[in-house]
A and B are shown apart, each in its own frame.
Chain A
Amino acid sequence: MRRRQESAPVVSAEGFAVIATNVRRRFNDREVLRDVNLTIEGDEFVALLGRSGTGKSTLLRILGGLDTEYEGDVLVPERRAVVFQEARLIPWQRVLANVLLGLRPGEDGAGALKAKGLDALGEVELAEHARDWPLTLSGGEAQRVALARALVREPQLMLLDEPFGALDALTRIKMHALLQRLCERHRPAVLLVTHDVDEALLLADRAVVLVDGAISLDVRIDLERPRDRGDAAFVELRHRLLRELGVEERPPRSTVAPSEASEADFETTRLATTSPGRRRSDDPTPPPTI
């Protein structure tokens, strides 16, 4: 338990959930975040992509107040909630107590708080497990409890750190749909850290790619929902993001005309070469050419 450092004020400019400027973070000699500038609007769903070790979790931990030894300025709302890759439920507290962890009953009493917790569990369809021990839950159920624990705090900013990374593929599909429903209902700002490009494209309004500790690409995902992985625009964006992440995939066959494909190539190259870390994410990003 480290003593908390005096950190940036926790008041946010109107309309924004995150304003982070010139954020740097080094661990000993290794510079994990070089110069990150990122804004997230009040109800925006941003996916933060990057290969392992590029600092995406570090950035999330800074926004969540879990890492206070950074440089730069970070403004975030007061009500934040984190969902980690592991559910991190306290094994010796029952499910409901886990959801209500750290919450104090307000003026309307303990009963009202409990009802709120049960409501949140109901939203993730686990109300009947309120009195169970966390160790009796499956991985997907535990992660849903973690979601309920975040939701019950009515967060203005939800920080999701690869929350579905440890789940099996079928459960993940269900969780994506659930998360989408919950976000539509509560409209928090969301930062989803992931290395799964498809996940980002299915869920987010915007994808931000972190390469070597700086943001190298920031694109709006203007695809209609519900999104279809087979959609040509989806495939094109997927290809582009993968390339940015350094994964060369065979270009999509027959879905994109050659002229458009080369235009997309050009766009990515431009972003990559114009001083990667300096790019302000609140610059208007030209919509992807699709």
Chain B
Amino acid sequence: MSVTDLLTQRPRRESDDRDARTSDVIALTTPVPRGRRRRRWHVPRLLRRTVGPLIVLGVWQLACSLGVFTSFEVASPVAVFDAARQLWAEGVLQPNLLISLQRVAEGLGLGTAIGLTFAVISGLFWVGEDLLDPVIQAARAVPILGLVPLAIIWFGVGEVPKVFLIALGSTFAVYINTFAGIRGVDSKLVEAGQTFGLSRWGLVRRVILPGALPNFLVGLRLALVGCWLIVIVAEEINAQSGIGYLIMQAQTTGRTDIMMMGLAIYALLGILADAFVRLLERRLLTWRRGYAGA
């Protein structure tokens, strides 16, 4: 339909009868700009997200190949990969990787359990908060790595001090976030639960804890990052096994490639752990996205 069609088909209005001189005349001179619809390639998100790291790897490899660094300063990605393959073939990598994973799992499990328990006690009871929270806040301010010498005195040089340090490194993130989550549960929902006959335990189980779950998962993600930071230090200081131990060994023999391999493994494990918690979020928090199927 053309503009003239549009104008002539318009129903008559009262204002049409008015004197043309008294009515306002609007000059229709400005077409509203129209953007051309852009065609976007539909690239899967996973693929898009791998492009950045791949570029970094490429630049890194290029810099090494062009001799910007000596192989003693920085090992190239290919050299790092070769080191990993070699250690795997010799059967050195597997047990060390396993022991590191085990330490993280134990430390994280313990730390999460403690953080969660304290958060629930502080979150649900004012007395609990008054007693626990100041202590935990103070403990949180202590640099964990400063505890390494003490941990050795207390627990010797076995597995216990490592697990202890990792647990400590993960517990605060869980505590703080879960506590905030419990206190952040909408009091109107709690009140609704009360009016409709939920018992105190029912309220905790069906309203308060599920309400704090998103925050707990955020805490868990932070804890995962935190405990990988601790494990590397714990393993470099007094260990006969683990990825950190491999890195320390490589330092004495000047094997930059193995040192960087160790770091790369930490990075990979960090990504995997984060992906795992995000998967957990997607499974547990379906209600947030309004996903109807199960």
Contact = CB atoms under 8 A, between A and B. Distances in A.
Interface of A: 1, 64-66, 80-82, 84, 86, 88, 90-93, 101-103, 131-136, 149, 153
27 contacts: A1-B124, A1-B200, A1-B203, A65-B195, A81-B196, A86-B188, A88-B189, A88-B192, A90-B189, A90-B192, A90-B193, A91-B288, A92-B213, A92-B287, A93-B206, A101-B192, A101-B198, A101-B206, A102-B202, A103-B196, A103-B197, A133-B286, A133-B291, A133-B292, A135-B288, A135-B290, A149-B196
Nearest to A64: B195
B71 interface: no
A136 B290 contact: yes
B287 A135 contact: yes
Nearest to B209: A92
Nearest to B188: A88
Interface string B180-209: 000000001111111111101011001100
Nearest to B204: A1
A102 B190 contact: no
A131 B198 contact: no
A65 to B, nearest CB: 7
B210 interface: yes
10 shortest A-B CB distances, which residue pairs? A102-B197, A88-B192, A102-B196, A136-B290, A102-B198, A133-B287, A92-B210, A92-B287, A101-B196, A82-B195
Q: Is the interface of B mostly helix, strand, loop or mixed?
A: helix
B290 to A, nearest CB: 4
Given A90-B189, A133-B292, A153-B196, 16 more contacts: A66-B195, A84-B188, A84-B192, A86-B188, A91-B288, A92-B287, A101-B193, A101-B198, A101-B206, A102-B197, A103-B196, A103-B197, A131-B292, A135-B287, A136-B290, A136-B292
Q: Which interface class (under 10, 10 to 19, 20 to 34, 35 or more) fits B?
A: 20 to 34
B292 A132 contact: yes
Nearest to A159: B195
A250 B286 CA distance: 53
Contacts of A86: 188
A22 to B, nearest CB: 25
A153 B195 CA distance: 11
Contacts of A153: 196
Interface in B243-292: 285-288, 290-292
Interface in B148-207: 188-198, 200, 202-203, 206-207
A141 B94 CA distance: 56
B115 interface: no
A5 to B, nearest CB: 14
Nearest to A97: B206
A192 B60 CA distance: 71
Contacts of A88: 188-189, 191-192
Contacts of B196: 81, 101-103, 149, 153
B242 interface: no
Interface string B12-54: 0000000000000000000000000000000000000000000
Contacts of B197: 101-103
Contacts of B191: 66, 88
Contacts of A136: 290, 292
A6 to B, nearest CB: 17
Contacts of B192: 82, 84, 88, 90, 101
Output the residue of A86, A101, A134 with the most chain B CB within 10 A: A101
Nearest to B196: A102
B211 interface: yes
Given A84-B188, A93-B206, A102 B292 contact: no
Nearest to B290: A136
A201 to B, nearest CB: 28
Contacts of A134: 287
A30 B206 CA distance: 36
Contact of A90 (B195, B200, B206): B206
A191 B285 CA distance: 37
B239 to A, nearest CB: 43
A82 B194 CA distance: 11
Interface string B71-99: 00000000000000000000000000000
B187 to A, nearest CB: 10
Nearest to B213: A92
A1 B196 CA distance: 15
Contact of B211 (A65, A92, A102, A132): A92
